[in-house]
Structure 1
Amino acid sequence: MRIGLIGAGPWARTVHAPALAAHPDVDFAGVWTRRPEPGAELAAEHGTAFEPDLAALLAGVDAVAFAVPPAVQGSLAVKAAEAGRHLILDKPLADSVPAAERAAAAIAAAGVVSTTMFTLRFHPPVREFLAGFTGPADVSTSGSARWLSGALLGGPYAGSAWRAERGALLDIGPHLVDLLDAALGEVVGVDFAHRGEPDLWRFGLRHAGGATSTYVLSLAMPVDPTEMEVTAYGSAGRHRVTDRPADAAVAYGVLLDEFLVDVSAGRTDGPQSAARSLHLQKVLAQVEALVEESAEEPRP
């Protein structure tokens, strides 16, 4: 399959491009970026072409992979879908729910296959964790998720404008809510939400079967290495995972394996599709709105 890459930032350099170039059933067919210099450099590193014209890139590939900020992905995903190209998306799907809805609608209307790089979902220990759940959990079951990192204090993502503005909620939130939504049942409501310093998000969710889940996440904690733990306990037993991929490019390789199968089968409703990403973005938007409402309430 001919796959083009849109973006040349740290995530594209360390994950997308190496995995696309290494996969035996993928022709890494080109790179497009808004700024030509980093795109041309990345393309040269992996023996592919830099295409300065997005329409030309789309015309020459079967699928595109996105490694760009949410606002850029939301608009360009519509163009790619309308051109009939399958999509490998990043999270969140867009920078707002309306933009995410437009992207998901365009993908559905085009009938193309989409998947999202929910990195944890392609990691064997996480899949073992999820295998312990067979249906929506009842009210006796609770889940918790914690992710504490110093990624915004230094390193390749410290200069990311959208991460600095929206914090861990839009960056890490999709991963954690995705896992407990899959394990405990679809999220149907937000019970509480709070944002403190440094970039510390705490919120609680309700699931369709009556289970509840709580979350604590930050990208501005002086923690190294990153701490990650997802736990659920109740009638389904006790399940816990603390292991995350040491190399996200390996997880991306698994994504590519499954993406190729889905495209071959014409499967548009895969577990990490754009529709799934939209659902998670709507949940996180409710969390963000509740935090904003709390901040506006007058203090006694």
Structure 2
Amino acid sequence: MGAMTGDVLRMGLVGAGPWAHKVHGPGIVAHPRTQLVATWARRPEAAADVAAIGGATPFADFDEFLRHVDAVAFAVPPAVQAPLAARAAAAGKHLVLEKPVAPSVDDAERLAGAVSDAGVTTIMVLTFRYDLGTRRWLDEVARVGEWDGGLARWFSGTLLDIGYDQSRWRHDGGALADIGPHVFDLLDAALGPVTGVEQARLDRGVWHVMLGHENGRLSTATLSMHTPAQPAVTDFAVHGPHGFLAFDASGDATTRYAVLLDDFVRLVERETAEHPLDVRRGLHLQRLLGRVTDQLTGG
């Protein structure tokens, strides 16, 4: 496992899309324990644009980029992230990984294997989970304990926004690929591990999914990123004999990213490879996405 350089984690950023500019880049620059020192993107001019956020050095060669950093944050499509993250892990670099972690279960398993072999620290950008409100809700869910099931609703017009026109993977995968990992992760955390997909249906861009949990509970998720809801609907709830406990997951991504970096730096500093939201969590969620699409196609 690679070590930190002094008290500050030297970070590189891979990608130059909206989240690299809005969240990853500014977040790394603003955090007191991280420094944005290098950027890489498939187009050198795009890497230079992101580098300007924090006075970093853009690189055209990925391996040269890796030689200048302790850790790498990824803000690229899953099909790009998986092989590059495996290379970064093999080089001993710690990883901040976007969701979904890979384009397929096989790719996610290969990445998880590369991380395990290298012993590096990883953390997933499951932003809801770094929100203090989320943590308080999950604590209350655990304290009460007796729940029969749960539900989640996500309706937004994100993919109607011209700013995401070039995000092909989001348009191809829709809400299932982009929002599904967040929603399934939180339902899993609230109600116990998801073990199966009971039903899945895609109707005019809206996903309807019923999940089975290992304790016999059921949860439902309705997901759309093509609904012009103002404001967006991002709510979760559990229900049972003690009532209905709801939670609104709307919040500030930059604040949540700062908490993520707090956790990440602490893990690297302590040379700890395991975290509840590490690459293994990404693999678990990738398997759930695969089961949803299998249910839809009869696979």
Which category of TM-score, normalised to the shorter sequence, fits these structures?
over 0.9
- 2:140 matches 1:132: yes
1:196 paired residue among 188, 198, 203: 203
| 1:78-157 superposed matches below 5 A | 78-134=86-142, 141-157=148-164
- 2:62 matches 1:54: yes
Structure 1 runs of 4+ off > 6 angstroms?
135-138
Q: Is the 8 A contact 2:200 2:296 kept in 1?
A: yes
- 2:81 matches 1:73: yes
Q: Is the 8 A contact 1:141 1:236 kept in 2?
A: no
Q: RMSD between aligned alpha carbons?
A: 1.6
CA distance in 1, matches of 2:191, 2:242: 9
Q: 1:209 to 1:279 in 2, by over 3 A?
A: same
The alignment-based identity, stated in percent, is: 43
CA distance in 1, matches of 2:277, 2:143: 18
2:228 corresponds in structure 1 to 222
1:239 paired residue among 241, 245, 251: 245
Q: CA deviation at 1:222?
A: 2.0
Q: Is the 8 A contact 1:135 1:185 kept in 2?
A: no
| 1:278-289 superposed matches below 5 A | 278-289=283-294
Aligned residues: 291
Q: CA deviation at 1:149?
A: 0.8
CA distance in 2, matches of 1:137, 1:267: 30
Q: CA deviation at 1:137?
A: 6.2
> Which secondary structure state, in structure 1, belongs to the residue aligned with residue 120 of structure 2?
coil
1:253 corresponds in structure 2 to 258
CA distance in 2, matches of 1:55, 1:137: 49
> Which secondary structure state, in structure 1, belongs to the residue aligned with residue 202 of structure 2?
strand
Gaps of 5+ in 2: 1-8
Q: CA deviation at 1:135?
A: 8.7
Q: Is the 8 A contact 2:37 2:55 kept in 1?
A: no
CA distance in 1, matches of 2:13, 2:242: 41
* Cα deviation code 1:182-233 (max 9, x no counterpart): 1111001111000010x10001011111111000001111212211110011
Q: CA deviation at 1:122?
A: 0.9
2:27 paired residue among 15, 19, 25: 19
The TM-score, its normalising length taken from structure 2, stands at 0.93
- Amino acid aligned to 2:148: T
Gaps of 5+ in 1: 295-300
- Amino acid aligned to 2:48: A
The TM-score, its normalising length taken from structure 1, stands at 0.93
* Cα deviation code 1:235-278 (max 9, x no counterpart): 57532111422x31111111001101111222222011000010
Q: CA deviation at 1:165?
A: 1.0
